[in-house]
Amino acid sequence: MGYVNLAKLLSDAKAGGYAVGAFNIVNDLTARAAVQKAAELSSPVILQTSVSTVKQIGPKELISFLRALAEEAPVPVAVHLDHCTDPEYVIRCLDLGWSSVMLDLSQAPFERNLSETLRIVEYAKKKNATEEGELGAIVGVEDEIRVSRSALADPVKSFEYVAKTGIDAFAPAIGTAHGLYKGEPDIDFDLFKKLSAEIPCPLVVHGGTGLRPDVFARLVGLGAAKINVSTAIKISYCQGMRDYLREHPDENNPLKLDHYVMEQTEACVEEHIRMFGSAGRAKA
* All domains in the chain, ordered by first residue: 2-276 (3.20.20.70)
Which pLDDT band holds residue 175 (cuts at 50, 70, 90)?
Answer: confident
Mean pLDDT for 194-222 is: 91
- Contact status, residue 165 vs residue 188, Cβ threshold 8 Å: no
Query: Given a cut of 60, is residue 189 above it in pLDDT?
Result: yes
Query: Given a cut of 90, is residue 10 above it in pLDDT?
Result: yes
Q: Strand ranges (DSSP E) for 104-215?
A: 130-135, 140-142, 145-147, 169-172, 203-205
DSSP one-letter code for 256: H
Q: Round to whole Å and give the CA distance between 238 and 240.
A: 5
3-state secondary structure 59-73: HHHHHHHHHHHHHCC
* Residue 184 neighbours by CB distance under 10 Å: 8
Q: Round to whole Å and give the CA distance between 217 and 158.
A: 24
3-state secondary structure of 101: strand
Residue 44 phi/psi, 5-degree rounding, is: -65, 155
One of 12, 28, 82, 104 is an active-site residue; which one? 82
86 is catalytic: no
pLDDT tens sequence across 26-70: 999 999 999 999 999 999 999 999 999 999 999 999 999 999 999
Residue 136: per-residue pLDDT:
76
